[in-house]
Structure 1
Amino acid sequence: MQRVESDAASRAGRKDGPKWLRRIEWPRWGTDAAGRSPWKRGRVLAGLAVLTAGLLAFPSAVPNSVGRVGSLLETFLPWLGLAVPLLFVLALLRRSATALVALLLPVTVWGSLFGGPLLPEDRGAHDITAVQHNVSDVNADPAGTARALIEAEPELVALEELTPSALPVYERALAPTYPYRAVEGTVGLWSKYPLSDVRPLDIKPKGIGDGWQRAVRARMRVPQGDVAVYVAHLPSVRVGWSGFGSGRRDESAGLLAAALAAERLDRVILLGDLNSTVDDRGLGPVTSRMDPVGRDFAFSWPTAFPVSRIDHVLTRAATVTHVRTLPATGSDHLPIAADIRLCCGRADA
């Protein structure tokens, strides 16, 4: 009897409302054919909402033992938030109050992890700007790429995938603005400040032949003192039937971490294509040696539809105040620009 009266009231409300409103067939949130209330329906959807929140908050709980699934999840972790609107629509269709309330959990977790960059923020002053860019070994316009990076007016420019044919082009374009350079193999660093103590780093995984040189270290003299600057390009990863192929990348990350651990200067800047995000546990040996980083999205790869930031500017005894992408060049990566505030430290050790 109560349900009949409710339906009659609903029809009366639609009759008294605007014409467009009367045409809408509004769903009834009462009991369903099985006698279940909105609070008893949609428990599976509620469980999926709780699971989404758990994966966002504790991605390390997913093991890496089979196919490195955990690392794959961490690489694209922000995109897990797309489960929320999907579950929201399903909860509405199911007319489940329980599922809608449960969705507050993943919304809250995602907001606490990744919502910061969406809010206005006073980023404060910075001392230098660094640009990191994998220029691609098939870039057809290295001169145009160099000009685009110079327009950002950074003090530091780090490049990866330099080829023997393109390197002279970058050198000619960058030299007038950046008189100091350090190039080893396929990576290079250009600076407005003097560089010294330049040396290659051995981050080559086992099984890779000679001639593979993808890391360099230099000492940069700035008004605040000396800074150790590293440029590195870790091996690529592959996603296939066997899972997330990151073994060589992880091994190379361990070698880079050992070099960072042995660094005597307190102030360190690491620029490079690390082929994953800072959430990926495979980069843990590196990120644990550096200061915590913010959650600026600045997705850098691939250029056509960036879904992940695998290009990084990390610091130690310094602070990255802002990270942003620059306009596309002839590469499949977007350039990354980072503002850095240098802190006090044992810089002249």
Structure 2
Amino acid sequence: MKDLLAWDQTLFKDSELFELDHVPEHFLHRDAQLQSLMYGVRPALCGARPLNCLCIGSPGTGKTTAVVKVFEEIEKHTPKVVPVLVNCQVNSTKYAVFSQIFKKLIGYAPPVSGVSFKKVFNEVAKYLVEHEKVLVVALDDMNFLFYENEVNDVLYSLLRAHETHTGARMGVIAILSDTGVPHILDPKVETVFLPEEVRFPQYTKGEVRDILSSRAKLGFYPGVLDDSALDRTAEHTFALGDLRVGIDLLKRSGLNAERRASRTISLEDVESAYEKSRLVHLSYMMRSLKEDEKILLGMISEMQQANSGELYEKFHLQTSLGYTRFYELLNKLGALKLIDTDFTGKGSRGRSRVVTLRYQADEVKARL
């Protein structure tokens, strides 16, 4: 009986470490990216305008965490620089973005209606000038500003503030998920943005294992997770290329073991947890899809397995979009690891593709 967990015992030394929004104290394998971000922010510490930065990489590669770590350092060291992290998925309009900045600077949010954008903007710029503060705005998930066609207005307002308000200093850190579809800015915005590019490559299999091992050591009691269970968790995480899957997988595997009153996590615990954890990736990816991408994914989930030619005909019939756009969307859904596309060797010049869903059709439909 001593091998069984008592009803009031737990495997978790600190369950907070397995929450998806937890910012780890030791942020592994991203030193170069942190250095680049600090380099960009450094001018602000001397009262000058910071360099703009563009953090780009696949989802789940540590972009947001890196920016949060840099912002924590700034707030520890100087009150002269005000860092603001804006979640563009939630705040996807110019007014919403500036409301978040206003709230951070002035301490309360402006009214949701009845106040013009210009007034909110003027208050923000005036505050910075009067208090001699430098603003660094991180636009997290900036993809959503592209989807809403707000991105040029937001960046233009931030980056040209000094022209209307002498002494207003603002810099932007754009956090953009690389989804295989190019995002193009207006040339007049491009010329004032000119960001330092900070690339976040996919973690290697060894790095994934390293990060999950560190999280498990701090989050579980000793001996809970052995090497075979850790390796299996790392394999699943690496296959989807999204670290969030692995962190959720550790948590669910631990809960599965507790349910069995076991003091250790077995491979079965990991496998049964993976059925749920892999949907973390699906949910995150699907939140970022635009309307025509959802239509195409819906068609693929109806057909289960489709030839790209017949899929295009159905898609064109419903959306009247051309083949080039269809091809881009197919590539994007592939890059997001939502579908697989394999060349069959049939068709013109052997380029016909078979498109298959990487998830259960009902899982996709439920999220559409």
Q: TM-score, normalised by structure 1?
A: 0.24
Q: Which has the larger radius of gyration?
A: 1
Structure number with higher strand proportion: 1
More helix by share: 2
Larger relative contact order, structure 1 or 2 (CA cutoff 8 Å, min sep 6): 2
